[in-house]
Structure 1
Amino acid sequence: MSKVEQERARARLAEFRKFDPPRFNGLSVESRVVEAWVRALEKLFEDLYIPERDRVHLVVHCLEGDAHSSWLRTRTDRFENLTWEEFRGMLYRAYFPNSVKKKFENDLKRMRQEDRSVQEYVREFVQVLNCVPSAVRDEQCKAYLIERGLRSEIYQFLQPQHFRTLDEVIEMVLWVERGAAGMKE
């Protein structure tokens, strides 16, 4: 790494630390804690416009205790070129045992809106999906799964349409719910 690159990396780290990024010690293996930590970092990356190439370098500075020790044992020779997606995959493999992944996959497939608002249902669906991103092969499957769990009075508005992405479904069901609420008033 050249002197200029080193200086840039130090400046980026100093800027990142100013925003008090969340720490992870690895003691809590509660999957939702791990997922929440990852989401908080990703939000910070977006807010600070952190490029992909800098993310792993910065996040390593957020690891403490057991998590940092685990990182030191498992980091690869290609650390310099490790992408955020690869790092996140390593983290999820370490803190999401197969039994937990299977439970999340089953939860995702069985999830129903029931008496919750669309927003509450979508929030839980996305949280579980983020814990097991490989459980659903593509955007169309995500769209199908979330549609399938909707209450019938909302689902009926979606039936004649063909959605290709999860975002399309979410946008439509939020619109339908708002429209239904407006009609009740």
Structure 2
Amino acid sequence: MPPKSHKDKEVQEDDWVELRRTLAGDAFEPTYDDSTFADSLHRSMRDVVETIMRNQLQRDRLAEDEVHEANPLAPGQNQIQQHRHGDRDQRVDERPDRRWENCFKLDLPEFNGSTRGEDLLDWLVTVEEILDFKQVPVDRQVALVATKFRGQAASWWLQVKSTRVREGKTKITSWDKLKKLLRKTFLPYNFDRTMYTRLQNLRQGSRSVDEYAEEFYMLLTRNEIHDSEIQIVARFIGGLKPQLQNALARFDPNTIR
């Protein structure tokens, strides 16, 4: 293969200049470091993929809980429960000194049963973070969260508990199971379809890349996406401005160095 000509090198450098100028807009500076730009591009792509993987892990846990509730005597369930209890006991034994947390006033937010999908999902995210921060034991999470139900949510929860008692079902002790019931009850019937349509039609338009990326990440958390990493990156790039897509088409975002 013949070596690249000086002209080819100039074209490649022009491509980088165009791509950097498109990303930075009016804030473009000729001294912008190539390695810094590549790192920024990789970070954006990685954030997209990590968001998808985090959502997939949560869905897998929900599926595991559903299998156990449907057939508590299924093979392997004993070992799973023993493993969970073992992890719980180990966490109790190895619990570090957390007195420093007393300096923070951090409490679970209330939920009144709003039917605005975004309100519920944002509330779930906040609760998840606080439960994790405070390392609330898994067998106490549902009881703790339920104390924050107000209004319609409190009435709904009382009905759920009484119905399960009447039907001979066990108490809901899984936070993942409770989250699923909350989504099923308080999300609008067409919420998932609306969020998916918004993701499918999302375009950068006149917004900055950061603003576009922020909504893209938000919509990823609202949808069940099973794309591969390559497909996710392609989806992200596909919503960027045409001139930015054209500049990116000359490079492989997964291998830029």
TM-score scaled by length of structure 1: 0.63
Amino acid at match of 2:179: R
| 2:235 pairs with 1:148 | no
Amino acid at match of 1:123: E
- State how 1:8-157 maps to structure 2 within 5 Å: 19-26=106-113, 28-75=114-161, 76=164, 77-82=169-174, 84-132=175-223, 134=224, 136-138=225-227, 140=229, 141-155=231-245, 156-157=247-248
Indicate the SS of the match to 1:98.
coil
Identity %: 24
* Gapped regions of structure 1 (runs ≥ 5): 9-14, 164-171, 173-185
Aligned-pair CA distance for 1:162: 4.7
Change (3 A) 1:130 1:87: farther
Aligned-pair CA distance for 1:112: 1.3
Indicate the SS of the match to 1:79.
coil
CA distance in 2, matches of 1:98, 1:61: 26
Aligned-pair CA distance for 1:74: 2.7
**How many matched pairs?**
146
Aligned-pair CA distance for 1:111: 0.8
Query: Residue 23 of structure 1 contacts residue 63 of structure 1 at CA under 8 Å; is this kept in 2?
Result: yes
Structure with max Cα Rg = 2
Aligned-pair CA distance for 1:80: 4.8
The counterpart of 2:252, out of the listed 147, 160, 184, is 160
Aligned-pair CA distance for 1:109: 0.9
TM-score scaled by length of structure 2: 0.48
